[in-house]
């Protein structure tokens, strides 16, 4: 089961649940809504998986990690975003987001597989939008953050952005992953990788 939450930034946070185990992809949703959906599914949240470290994707992270006491997974190249209001862009909104020093952060690098109870998560490093942008693949679901959207791609003019790196990441998406994957982006509606390969001008 996949639940989507859309915040004031039109950002998508996803709760992925399988047989009582759950992970949260990005952390910008209402905690009460997440708790309600976990209770209704009789599921336990095992981890927060961050596609990258920009503020619109982590705005609720501090409250979420205190509420659920779960590890936060982020690529090592974006870990500093969690401690720097300039990098994570919270300063632009009159905020100063800094993750608490007691937070349980686990970093990854390139391709890897994580297991949370019955959930198996494949990690695909996809730099471009940020240095540490990451795609998370769970079964036939691919959570693409701000790397790939329906009919569009992420921008590269924000901290950590690199248009050449993004082009290389998109080339791997085009060639290396199964076309049957369902795309769940950081903004906008879901799609299919097959459809994006066919219709997205950037692929």
Each residue of 76-93: pLDDT tens digit?
999 999 999 999 999 988
Q: Are 136 and 119 in contact (CB under 8 A)?
A: no
Which residues have CB under 8 Å from 28's CB, separation 6+? 5, 7, 9, 11, 13, 56, 57, 58, 59, 60, 61
Task: Check residue 159 and give its pLDDT.
Answer: 82
Task: Check residue 115 and give its pLDDT.
Answer: 94
Q: Are 116 and 127 in contact (CB under 8 A)?
A: no
SS (H, E, C) the chain: CEEEEECCCCEEEEEEEECCEEEEECCCCCHHHHHHHHHHCCCEEEEEECCCCCHHHHCCHHHHHHHHCCCEEEEHHHHHHHHCCCCCCHHHHCCCCCCCCCCCEEEECCCEEEEECCEEEEEEECCCCCCCCEEEEECCEEEEECCEECCEECCCCCCCCCHHHHHHHHHHHHHHCCCCCEEEECECCCEEHHHHHHHCCCC
Q: How many CB atoms lie within 10 A of CB 42?
A: 9
Domains in the chain with CATH codes: 2-199 (3.60.15.10)
Q: Which of 141, 148, 137 is nearest to 186 (CA)?
A: 148
1-8 average pLDDT score: 94
What integer best gives the mean pLDDT of the chain?
Answer: 94
Strand pairing of 191-192 and 182-185?
Answer: antiparallel
Each residue of 136-161: pLDDT tens digit?
999 999 999 999 999 999 999 988 89
Output the pTM of the full model.
Answer: 0.96
pLDDT at 110 over 80: no
Task: Check residue 202 and give its pLDDT.
Answer: 87
Task: Check residue 173 and give its pLDDT.
Answer: 86
The pLDDT-based confidence of 94 (bands split at 50, 70, 90) is confident
Counting every residue, how long is the chain? 203
Task: Check residue 109 and give its pLDDT.
Answer: 83
Strand partners, 23: 16, 47
């Amino acid at each position: 089961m996949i639940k989507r939450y859309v915040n004031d930034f039109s950002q998508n946070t996803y709760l992925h649940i399988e047989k009582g185990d759950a992970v949260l992809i990005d952390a910008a949703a209402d905690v009460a809504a997440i708790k309600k959906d976990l209770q209704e599914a009789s599921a336990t949240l095992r981890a927060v998986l961050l596609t990258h470290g920009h503020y619109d994707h982590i705005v609720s992270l501090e409250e979420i990690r205190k509420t659920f006491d779960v590890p936060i997974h982020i690529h090592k190249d974006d870990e500093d975003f969690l401690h720097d209001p300039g990098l994570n862009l919270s300063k632009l909104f009159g905020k100063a987001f800094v993750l608490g020093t007691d937070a349980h952060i686990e970093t990854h690098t390139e391709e890897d597989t994580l297991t949370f109870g019955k959930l198996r998560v494949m990690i695909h490093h996809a730099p471009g939008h940020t240095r540490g942008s990451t795609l998370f693949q769970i079964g036939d679901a691919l959570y693409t953050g701000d790397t790939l959207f329906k009919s569009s791609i992420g921008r590269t003019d924000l901290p950590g952005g690199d248009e050449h790196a993004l082009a290389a990441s998109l080339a791997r998406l085009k060639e290396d992953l199964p076309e049957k994957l369902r795309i769940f982006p950081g903004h906008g509606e879901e799609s299919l990788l097959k459809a994006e390969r066919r219709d997205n001008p950037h692929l």
